[in-house]
């Protein structure tokens, strides 16, 4: 069985957005780690822009569904971590550009 690469998983995660911020979780810099086991199990460590984020469960579900669509994925585990804390410095250049388009100062 062929499993997806970390790059393919990150690409799949680009459809997942924080409903409060119009940028995907990859370009926001929320994905800290992505491991793929030979068995097709994908383990993702990610954070959110704030610890008390009210849409944490929605983002987790969206991330799991996005990755489960990839061929060879048998299970997806999303773990939220808070260290190091997220900051705008973790955003990609694309993410910063998108934020500026929506009037955010980054």
Full-model pTM = 0.93
pLDDT value at residue 105: 87
Residue 44, C-beta contacts closer than 8 angstroms, at least 6 positions apart: 9, 13, 31, 33, 34, 35, 63, 67, 76, 77, 78, 79
The class that CATH gives domain 6-86 is alpha beta
pLDDT value at residue 20: 83
For residue 34, the cross-strand partners are: 44
Domains in the chain: boundaries: 6-86
For the stretch 13-29, pLDDT in tens is 999 998 888 899 999 99
Could you give phi then psi for residue 6, rounded to 5 degrees?
Answer: -60, -35
For the stretch 33-91, pLDDT in tens is 999 999 999 999 999 999 888 999 999 999 999 999 999 999 999 999 999 999 999 99
Taking a C-beta distance cutoff of 8 angstroms, is the pair 96, 106 a contact? yes
Angle at 54 between CA 97 and CA 14, to 5 degrees: 35
């Amino acid at each position: 069985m062929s499993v997806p690469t970390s790059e393919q998983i990150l690409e799949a995660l680009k459809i997942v957005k924080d409903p409060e911020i119009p940028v995907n979780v990859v370009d926001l810099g929320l994905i800290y780690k992505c491991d793929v086991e030979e068995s097709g199990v994908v383990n993702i460590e990610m954070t959110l822009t704030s610890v008390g984020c009210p849409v944490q469960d929605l983002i987790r579900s969206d991330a799991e569904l996005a990755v489960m669509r990839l061929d060879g994925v048998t299970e997806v585990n999303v773990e939220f971590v808070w260290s190091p804390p997220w900051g705008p410095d973790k955003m990609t250049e694309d993410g910063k550009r998108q934020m500026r388009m929506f009037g955010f100062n980054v």
